Chains A and B, each alone.
Chain A
Amino acid sequence: MIWSKEETMNREQIEEMQLKRLKETVKRVYEKVPHYKEKFDKMGIRPEDIHNLSDITKLPFTVKDDLRANYPFGLFAVDQNEIVRFHASSGTTGKPTVVAYTKKDMETWSELIARVVTMAGVTDKDTAQVAFGYGLFTGAFGLHQGLERVGAGVIPMSSGNTKKQIMIMKDFKTTTLICTPSYALHMAEVAREEGLDPAKDLYLKWGLFGGEGSSESMRQELNRAWGIFATENYGMSEIIGPGVAGECSALTGMHINEDHFYPEIIDPDTGEVLPPGEKGELVITTITKEALPLIRYRTKDITTLDYEKCDCGRTSVRMSKIQGRTDDMLILGGVNVFPSQIENVLLHVKGIGPHYQIKVFKKGYLDKIEIDVELIDSNLLEYFPQLEALNREIQSELRTVLGIDSKINLVEPRSLARFEGKATRVIDMRKNEKL
């Protein structure tokens, strides 16, 4: 099912709408946001210089630091009394980045989530358990209001209290699980500890995962563990929160809500726009946001765009799964590796669990990577050499697929950290050494 007609407009209609909205947005930020006026003036750009969509490249980028530098409300294009909702990102250091919504922004947001959850299979007959943390984080409230709009029954569980999550899931006959993929993985494990087979003893049909990227193998793992049809959705608080893009049942990428967000792919080093299909950093311009319009916001997420019409009937451009972030790429002795690639390799190895912890450090001048994985297959305990062989198998897979030399530590089941929100699976000790 397709929620709104905007999802099936032809390219010409989409672009016409985008251009009109882009012009309005540029004019508005020039008039209302001193940060943008200053930048535009310095670059000698006037809002009238935008004649077609490709003129967007004349405009400056916006980065997360611009939000921090203008803390809390410096980038808002409306007065505070027009704001009906605030959210903030989980800044681990210093001030958070604050985002806000007008009444119309809230209307847009829930409409976009309604599209995304519909794409994922959810209807008014479903009961959805939202296991994102409710609070300043946009994830929970974002999904919540869109699910209600679709008519689904919403259980605002928040994250954590996992045993209770399972109990509610069983007793309320939850059909839809909303959380981060890593929390879903952890929950399945807890359900099994409680003596339940999540795929058989519960009623889940849909899993809508977001808040962090995940690999295709992780999806398989989640489908198997829960007996669900798992989809991924994409968003970030600066842009609007969840609702920027989502996967449909064709699973050929996440449909971007293009009538509200204009996407570009750039070379993260040069800032040059890359042609469709090429891999690079996703840049988004919000073209309808009232409270916090952002021009060419650099998401740091690495992806590709596909403009071909999808089998589902939607015409909107699709972004591939996030293949990494420009700031989480690990450089190991000159080899570039994203943690997501390591995850993909590990999830294909039999005998170990889906949880892992990556540690990167320097030994002398050399970059070293150690990966902890949990041994779960007891059949490997028969002869000691079987464990050594498993160790070598993982090492050799990582070497063949990614070109990295690693040390693998087999650890006891349930000994690695579990996450109720976004997972932090990489500890890069080299960063601390520089301080």
Chain B
Amino acid sequence: MIIKQLSIFIENKKGHLALVTNVLRKENIDIRAISVFDTSEFGILRMVVNKPEEAVNALKEAGYTAKVSKVLAIQPEDRPGSLNEIFNILDENNIDIEYIYSFVMRKRDMPFIIFKVRDEERAIDVLKKYHIQLVAEEEIYEEN
């Protein structure tokens, strides 16, 4: 339910995404999802990969400021309004979303939604209560 995501500090400069991903490529790490939150000068690169611990060690060794963050992944139903319902539920239960992004895995029909909240455990309880489908860690790391 709780997914390990990489958070990496990068400067907003030409070529820096290539440099970071070079490190992962050398370690034969597979990127499942990627997203950047940036200002004009710097950003935090967030990635879901198949081997998060190995990846973060390799990045640190290469000199990056990087860490593993906990995020949640859900699988919304394929119909209009389903995402809206989820956001309403979280809002009504006073759960603030810090950031959100989505990604698709080839073997599945539906995209996953990754999101970050301050209190993961409580968010899980709320989502379960409303029968929102949470995605298990193994499903994300498994071979595509």
A: residues with CB less than 8 A from B are 375-379, 381-384, 387-388, 409-415
Nearest residue (CB) in A for B37 is A384
A377 to B10, CA, bound (A): 13
Least CB distance from A61 to B in Å reads 46
Residues in chain A near residue B65, CB distance under 8 A: 375-378, 381, 412-413
Q: Is B30 an interface residue (CB 8 A)?
A: no
Smallest CB-CB separation from A415: which chain B residue? B11
Pick the contact of B10: A378, A388, A412 (CB < 8 A): A412
Which B residues are in CB contact (< 8 Å) with A376? 65
17 sample A-B contacts, Cβ–Cβ < 8 Å, listed by A number: A378-B7, A378-B67, A381-B9, A382-B67, A384-B37, A384-B99, A387-B42, A387-B44, A409-B41, A409-B42, A410-B9, A410-B41, A410-B42, A411-B11, A412-B9, A412-B10, A414-B63
Q: Which residues from A are CB-within-8-Å of B66?
A: 378, 381
Q: How many residues of B contact A (CB 8 A)?
A: 21
The answer to the question of B92 belonging to the interface, with a C-beta cut-off of 8 Å to chain A, is no
Say yes or no: is B103 at the interface (Cβ < 8 Å to chain A).
no
B87 close to chain A: CB less than 8 A: no
Q: Within 8 Å CB of A412, what residues of B?
A: 9-11, 16, 63-65
| Apart from A381-B8, A409-B42, A413-B63, 15 more pairs, CB < 8 Å | A375-B9, A375-B65, A378-B65, A381-B7, A381-B44, A381-B66, A383-B116, A384-B98, A387-B44, A388-B39, A410-B42, A411-B42, A412-B9, A412-B10, A412-B64
CA distance A329 to B17 in the complex (A): 39
Q: How far is the CA of A376 from the CA of B64 in the complex (A)?
A: 8
Interfacial chain B residues near A381, Cβ < 8 Å: 7-9, 44, 65-67, 69
Residue numbers in A under 8 Å from B37 (CB-CB): 384
Pairwise interchain contact B64-A382, C-beta atoms closer than 8 A: no
CB-CB under 8 A from B63, the residues of chain A are 412-414
Please name all residues of chain B whose beta carbon is closer than 8 Å to the beta carbon of A388 when the two chains form the complex: 39
Nearest Cβ on chain B to A376's Cβ, whole angstroms: 6
When distances are taken between beta carbons in the complex, the residues of chain A under 8 Å from B8 are 381
State A387–B99 Cα separation when bound (angstroms): 15
Closest beta carbon of chain A to B59's beta carbon, Å: 10
Q: B7 contacts which chain A residues (CB < 8 A)? A: 378, 381-382
Q: How many angstroms between the C-alpha atoms of A280 and B102 in the bound complex? A: 62
In the complex, the 4 A-B pairs of residues with the closest C-beta atoms, listed nearest first: A378-B67, A381-B7, A414-B63, A378-B65
Contact residues in B for A409 (Cβ distance below 8 Å)? 41-42
Task: List CB contacts (< 8 Å) of B32-78 with chain A.
Answer: 37, 39, 41-42, 44, 60, 63-67, 69
